[in-house]
Structure 1
């Protein structure tokens, strides 16, 4: 499919980002998400009509997810107002959000989306730093939003920024942008999204190299762990802050947050009801619940929809992850979506529910990107001026146009141009 013009790419990317996180922006009661969704409708129809009779992969997976939840609702209808509202929101907002991933048709549109996402993330970071805070001092921005939602909306752009740096698609301002995003995320005091951020960044660094991935991943993990330890010991991160407290006493802070209690109660529901308790009915089967859902998407699916439907959902997500991991060997775009999806999958483990729209958007996008025609050769960037350290490291056959020679392995790899 032909790539849309640069102006259309930017407008499309802006509307997509507003659809995902527009509710966190100060809009004076303007329904940013609804307006962005309405403006995206003609773009979606245009892509579908131009590609007919082929059906976009993102739309296929979104339809499968909708059918799966529809079966769950039919077998276990909601008995509470909250359950009915959750089902309505899923079919009217979450599924369409997942389907609009079909607008990302090539690497150029994905790079534009990443850049716009970083820009909007900077706006949210500024709002987190200078905006309002709750009673515990956690930043809520200017729309009195949930600090966890705000942290997730800032963390994803950080993952995208690091990928753009590796792709040489941003300039020297990347360091300042990264510092701003990290400061805004720290101001929210959210620990779950911070853990998700570490996993997302680790995947970006790991997938940036075509070889020695495990060694690079181990080195980065060790460096991050050592950096966090020194930050606490040198009091760069105060032990009285939420981030510092969980580094010092992880188990105690986990129990204090209530996540452990929610998980134990949900495991009991899963064991007692293998066919599920019904859509949105978790709150009915948990004694004296402090919340209406278990704050864990995976446990919610198993508890409310049963082992069969919940297991099918988890296997589907794992399948998309495997496809992305394999595709990232030759397609750099798959590495970005893999890292973003890992970030969201980790975040919904401690903060998410069935209507985590960004997660489902990235899930369908990941399925689509994993089927793109791969870039020839490996995805690692190699500098044009990289010298050969051994004069005898010469290919036995002439290298094709577009290939260069890496002295570390003496194998031809693709010279990928910067994504600008």
Structure 2
């Protein structure tokens, strides 16, 4: 539209060509109205079909045809602007639509050779008309070149953004497939381990009732410790089966943010027994949520990673940031290599050795992403690493708690 207005003004006032300004201005106003409608439609529904693009280009061809009809028809040097719609159609549309545009623009060209409003050229002699025509062709060339660069560059940028989005979706799909495979493997292992654990439990119960073993306090203490460890293994297997959806009659228990993190940290300390933990739960006001077993286990993996990297101290902070709950886990270990910071949440990225390493943050990132949250990692200025988990409260919310 800006190009049309500029061209009309140059032809009218710089080249001295008399043009039907009111009629041509009405066409430009129609295009303004069409663009306003398009922007409103995009605001309501961002997705655009190729059929819509095709009809938009036909409307542009119609507007250009009217403008050329009012300004000399096929003799107007701007007749070559029809190629702009054809080129855009070839880039954006299917083959049939592009050839339809070729046929329509060709028909319009033929129509304008016979029907048009003759241009009022200042001096009607051949040489002057040719000079004006060449000047018009130059303006048309510059305008078409600018528009083509503008539109094609935008189209290429959109295509690159689309390809980047598709690559990200493919990567996410591959990662989720890996999570599914790991879940099936864990579920199968849990089923397989259930039988030998039950056998060990039965044998320990038999030993506990044997008189010759009951007479030895040290052996009785060892048997009780072994029974406790077997019970803990059964609880872990139950959690694995529950997280894979195989436990029946169990659902996410209602709790609050404060109780969820307090219980998780207390349980982790009891099992892991780290020498020094700095825990601060600053979340306020409290909020009712559903206790998610998978999320809890994923967060415990982060605590384990911090304890592995920094056996003598782990810092845990829970706070509220508007509508998000934030967990920050700090350690005083060697920190993350710079190459790892750029790929946090990708599988098998770790500073540890051994099978299964590098899956803790990957599993956490997948669980948190499904809940609409995010995971970020950095190296602390005073040494060590820091992992921040941000989760929207609404995704785990049960009902608000009235505080005060």
Please, what TM-score do these two structures have when normalized by structure 1? Answer: 0.21
When Rg is computed on C-alpha atoms for both structures, the one with the higher figure is 2
Higher strand share: 2
